[in-house]
Amino acid sequence: MPLVRIDLPAGKSAEYRSTVGDVVYVAMTETMNVPRDDRFQIIAEHAPSDLVIDPTYLGINRSKDAIIIQVTLNEGRTVDLKQAFYKAVADGLHKRLGLRREDVFIGLVEVKKENWSFGNGEAQYA
């Protein structure tokens, strides 16, 4: 059910991009009760002029390696689950890729279950 969009600076290797996707997927399954095999991700690279991330908003110092992760998912998860997800992603990316925790921006977009069609022109969760 989640649809993940990962936007990152151009020039990262295929292995780097794949690892980012893996970390996000594992964090979703381990912290937010996302079923296994429910993996839908769009990973896109952007030139510096096309990926605008404020370097100091809220007193967080971000580098040129900052990434944006947007997850569209069913509504209803608790704040505790969301916070666990944010931490798991930031910690996982730091551990696996050396990405600074400050450089991980995550936005969740919650939708009702009837807003999905996984194919066949049907609303499988409606």
- Does the annotation count 48 as an active-site position? no
Structure tokens at 11: 């020039």
Per the CB < 8 A criterion, the answer to whether 72 and 2 are in contact is: yes
Of the candidates 29, 42, 3, 39, the residue with the CA atom closest to the CA atom of residue 89: 29
The radius of gyration of the chain from alpha carbons, rounded to an integer in Å, stands at 15
| Alpha-carbon span 31 to 54, nearest angstrom | 28
Per the CB < 8 A criterion, the answer to whether 25 and 41 are in contact is: yes
Q: Of 2, 9, 35, 55, which one is the catalytic site residue? A: 2
What are the beta bridge partners of residue 5? 42, 70
- Which sequence positions are flagged as catalytic? 2
